[in-house]
Structure 1
Amino acid sequence: MKQRIEELDLFRGIAVILMVMFHGVFDLSYYFGLDIDYSGGLWYYEGKLSALMFIWIAGISSYFSRNPRQRGIKLFLFGMAITAATYLLDSTNYIRFGILHFLGTSYLLSPCFKKIDSFALVLLALAVLAAGTYFDSLTTQNPYLFPLGITTPYFSSLDYYPLIPYFGVFLLGMAFGRGFYAKGYRIFGELRENFLSLLGRHSLIIYLIHQPVLLLFLFIARKSGIL
């Protein structure tokens, strides 16, 4: 982008806080055995809101990006590094197509959609979202279709954001970026850098390091008798 859109960093910062909160709850339940339901109710929707915010903002940013494919490759490689790390921790349940894989693939695909008419782009996004409802009910014996949202009956992943339906949210972000931000509109007007926007500006590095930091903190708390 020629000029950074400060409020997008602010929205990313909010998403970062929601993400860290959700993963803290997840870690307490999954790794430390506390009776907290993260797969439904408030915490489930809180985590989904964070992810949807990241995806929508990425769609907006991709519209302005000068080299979205380079960014896509970078994000996808980070995703594969996380796949390798989680596989080493637990080869039976690791991250196979998490949000970084999804965002990387979406950035790689985004140049194919930039020149599509805005109305058609929204219709396509809605079609992808609707297809997700159908794909969610499908199962296959082919173990390689999971990036599209079609899985085997035994598929599992600690983090899973398939292209269908979530690419629909990404496309809506692209359409919003074109129809709103590209025309100079802003939701909050001009913003100065603040704590939230600072978090948002460094959201990728925070994403990469926050889980080891959380787990270390919680492990120390367990050893200290706090948990």
Structure 2
Amino acid sequence: MTKHIGHPTKQNSQRNITLDMTRTLAIVLMVIFHFIYDLKLFGWIDWDIPDGQGWQQFRWVIVSLFFLALGSSLHFAYASSINYSKFLKRVLQISAGALLISIASYIAIPSNWIFFGVLHFLALASIICVGFANWPKLSFIIGISFFILAASDVLISRWPFHLLFDGLPDYTNDFVAPVPWLGMVFLGISLGHTQWLKRDPLQGKINPAVLRFAVWPGQHGLMIYLLHQPIMIALLYGLSLVIS
């Protein structure tokens, strides 16, 4: 869960505060989710996270916020034209982060390593969806179609990876199914075209001093995504040594 391709801007070159705050909310919820997961990892709680009732839905809320923001960002950043140099640079940054996550998880938890998690999805979704940045109605239809396709059980959740690779783990600590979640990015593109979001409803509604602090996570999501888990695990491990 991370900073997205491109920086959405209003026509007056100001950032869209509502999108930044959406990312910040998603990041805060993500950190809370992972912190509780880490508490379970260290044996301090026995809650059924991440797959138990309520926790799975909590994760759906988090990724939905990220993916809607990604789609809207693609519209704001690339509806008029695509800066391919900037776009490619950002995709490569996210892809490098995804590769790092895969390698680290394979070393740490080889039986459940992350072969296609949030960062992998963001890179792929950006490439697939950027060409639709200025097609709100078509994006909406495609987005709904992805969810209908998923609900029909025509494709299994691990599609297409079960067709492409042998030996992938049966369970992975972070997996984002392209169907239906690509649909949420397409819906985000459609949302980005709405006058409600273009008017930026949070613009001017938050104290400037508070705003600078509040939007910072939303503007540095990739860094936070890569660093928050190692930091929290290290702190909890240190605490476990102290209290043991």
TM-score, length-scaled by structure 1:
0.85
- Provide structure 1 residue ranges, at least 5 long, that are not aligned to the other structure: none
Q: 1:5 to 1:32 in 2, by over 3 A?
A: same
Cα drift, residue 169 of structure 1: 0.4
Q: How far apart, CA to CA, are the structure 2 residues paired with 1:138 and 1:9?
A: 30
Structure 2 match to 1:188: 202
Are the counterparts in 1 of residues 157 and 179 from structure 2 also a CA contact under 8 Å? Answer: no
1:121–1:175 CA contact under 8 A, matched in 2: yes
1:162-221: CA deviations, max 9, x gaps? Answer: 221101000111111123367x31222334324321121111111110000110111122
Question: 1:11-160 to 2 correspondence within 5 Å?
Answer: 11-32=22-43, 34-38=45-49, 39-65=51-77, 66=83, 67-116=86-135, 118-133=136-151, 134-135=153-154, 137=156, 143-145=162-164, 155-160=170-175
State the distance in 2 between where 1:209 and 1:37 align.
Answer: 24
* C-alpha separation in 2, matches of 1:212 and 1:72: 23
* Alignment-derived partner of residue 6 in structure 2: none
Moved over 6 A (4+): 138-142
Match of 2:227 in 1: 209
Identity of aligned residues (%): 24
Report the CA distance shift for 1:198/1:119 in structure 2 as closer, same or farther (over 3 A). same
Is the Cα–Cα contact under 8 Å of residues 139 and 153 in structure 1 kept in the other structure? no
Residues 130/141 of structure 1: CA separation in 2 closer, same or farther (3 Å cut): closer
- In the superposition, relative to structure 1, how do residues 125 and 144 fare at CA in structure 2: closer, same or farther (>3 Å)? same
- Deviation of 1:33 (Å): 6.2
State whether residues 111 and 169 of structure 2, in contact with CA within 8 Å, keep that contact through their aligned partners in structure 1: no
The answer to whether the 8 Å contact 2:142/2:183 transfers is: yes
Q: Quote the offset at 1:140 in angstroms.
A: 7.9
The residue number in structure 2 matching 1:178 is: 193
Q: Aligned pair in 2 of structure 1 residues 140, 173: CA closer, same or farther (>3 Å)?
A: closer
Amino acid at match of 1:172: L
Q: Do 1:19 and 1:50's aligned partners in 2 also have CA atoms closer than 8 Å?
A: yes
Judging changes above 3 Å, is the alpha-carbon distance between structure 1 residues 172 and 86 closer, same or farther for their aligned structure 2 residues? same
C-alpha spacing 1:142/1:59, structure 2 compared with 1 (3 Å): closer
Q: Which residue of 2 aligns with 1:169?
A: 184
Q: Secondary structure at the match of 1:32?
A: coil
SS of the equivalent of 1:37 reads coil
Aligned residues: 220
Query: Could you list the per-position Cα deviations for residues 19-46 of structure 1 after superposition, in whole angstroms to 9, with x for gaps in the alignment?
Result: 0110011112234363111112333322
Q: Which residue of 1 aligns with 2:5?
A: none
Cα separation, partners in 2 of 1:69 and 1:142, compared to 1, 3 Å: closer
**Tell me, what secondary structure is at the counterpart of 2:35?**
helix
Partner of 2:80 in structure 1?
none
Q: Distance in 2 between matches of 1:138 and 1:56?
A: 20
